[in-house]
Structure formats: C-alpha cells, structure tokens
Amino acid sequence: MDRMVIPWLKNLFAITAFFTTCEVHPNESKYERNMFCLDCNDNPFSRFFKKSHHKDHRVIQVIVV
C-alpha cells in the first residue's frame, strides 16, 4: 500500500532556513523568515512578502514553543 504524502508537508519538514534573517531586510529584527506558503511550496519568507507575493495563498506561520 502506498502512503499518501502531502507534497508541501514533506518540503516543510526538510527546510532548515526558518528563522534566518530576511535577505531583503537584514537590519530588521522582526523580518525573520517564519512563513511558509502551502500553494508555492518553496522557501520560507518573512511577513513582508505575505502581502506582496502570497496575498491570496494559503500561508502558515512557523513558531517555536
């Protein structure tokens, strides 16, 4: 039996770049990369890009507790 793997979930767990500094906003402390777009299934991004590049996409915010 094949297990069904959600493509974005596999990629999400493989990413090690969360909480790194945003390349566009290196001097801003609140612009760490902690967002992930389920539709794009790509690299993490800062909250700045949520409105400009992922406006109508399904986006999750990754937090550490």
> How would you classify residue 55: left for phi > 0, otherwise alpha for psi between -120 and 50, otherwise beta?
alpha
Q: What is the pLDDT of residues 33-65, one digit of tens each?
A: 999 999 999 999 988 888 888 989 999 999 988
- Domains of the chain from N-terminus onward: 7-61 (3.30.160.60)
Give the predicted TM-score (pTM) of the model: 0.80
How many of the other CB atoms lie within 10 Å of CB of 20?
Answer: 12
Four-CA torsion 30, 14, 57, 4, nearest 10 degrees: -150
Contact of 36 with 12, CB cutoff 8 Å: yes
pLDDT on residue 35: 94
